[in-house]
Amino acid sequence: MSAPGVVASQEDLELVERLRAGDELAFMMLVERHQAVMLRIARMYVSSRAVAEDVVQEAWLGVVKGIDRFEGRSSLRTWIYRIVANIAKTRGAAEGRVVPFSALAGDDETDPGVEPSWFYDANGRNPGGWTTFPGDWRGIPEDRLVGDETLRLIGRAIENLPPMQAEVIRLRDVLGWTSDEVRNALDLSETNQRVLLHRARTRVRRELDEYLRTGSEDV
């Protein structure tokens, strides 16, 4: 089920060998890299953080027990995330919790991140054109752009996104995964992955813009 070009790396195969040998350090390395994402994936489908932690522990057991069956046809992390997603979906269903994909993706959100008022409507003098050009970020000092306050604002903007949008932008833009890996790990179509990424980046850009052009995040 892996996409072309996304297979286990040499590093993956070495980690797998170490895990098969019961190497604790290899296991802890995987935990440090993946625990946070796994918890968020699990949390999308189950009722509480406590249940999500339980699901993740079960997923780790699945990884340790199933590692002999890992064939390297996907990356190791994709394989791990699919295990946690499957367990979480099953547990969520057992809890009677049905989470429609549209809710995770934010399909029902009325806020598109792009304000209709930014563009002339069909009766305007330039239909679909900017009513006012976007403000300029050039001239904002790099210190401010990459300062803690700006990064905290971006972090909060991401936390406030619908869960699947948040996870896509984290995996793509924070962790630097490829689109193929993200859609494999989260079981998304290529188009869906891109739509979610577009909405997420659009919202984060707008919040950044509001912040950068006013001066303080509390305004």
Partner 1 sequence: MTARALTCHEVIDLLTDYVEDALTAQERRRVEAHLATCDGCTTYLEQMRETIRLTGRLTEEQIPENEKQRLLAAFRDWTRPGGTRG
> Which CB, 6 or 169, lies closer to partner 1?
169
Q: Which of 17, 111, 174, 214 binds partner 1 (CB under 8 A)?
A: 174
Instruction: For residues 105 and 109, give the distance between their C-alpha atoms in angstroms, rounded to a whole number.
Output: 9
> Which CB, 103 or 208, lies closer to partner 1?
208
**Number of helices (H), then strands (E), in the chain:** 10, 0
Here's the x/- map for partner 1, 33-62, by CB under 8 A: it reads as --xxx---------------x---x--xx-
Token look-up 């905290």 returns 152
Both structure tokens of 98:
């049905």
Smallest gap from residue 45 Cβ to partner 1 (A)? 20
Q: What is the CA radius of gyration of the chain?
A: 21
Q: Is there binding between residue 31 and partner 1 (CB under 8 A)?
A: yes
Token look-up 């946690």 returns 84
Torsion, Cα 208 212 213 219, to 10 degrees, reads: 90
> Which CB, 85 or 200, lies closer to partner 1?
200
Q: Which of 14, 127, 149, 214 binds partner 1 (CB under 8 A)?
A: 127
Which residues lie closer than 8 Å to 121 by C-beta, 6 or more apart?
A: 127
Q: Is there binding between residue 141 and partner 1 (CB under 8 A)?
A: no
Q: Is there binding between residue 143 and partner 1 (CB under 8 A)?
A: no
Residue 130 β-bridge partners: 119
Helix axes 190-214, 148-159, angle to 10 degrees: 140
Residue 198 β-bridge partners: none
Write out the residues near partner 1 by the rule CB under 8 A.
Answer: 22, 24, 27-28, 31-32, 35-37, 53, 57, 60-61, 64-65, 114, 118-119, 127-130, 133-134, 136-137, 145-146, 150-151, 154-155, 158, 169-170, 173-176, 179, 190, 194, 197-198, 201-202, 204-205, 208-209
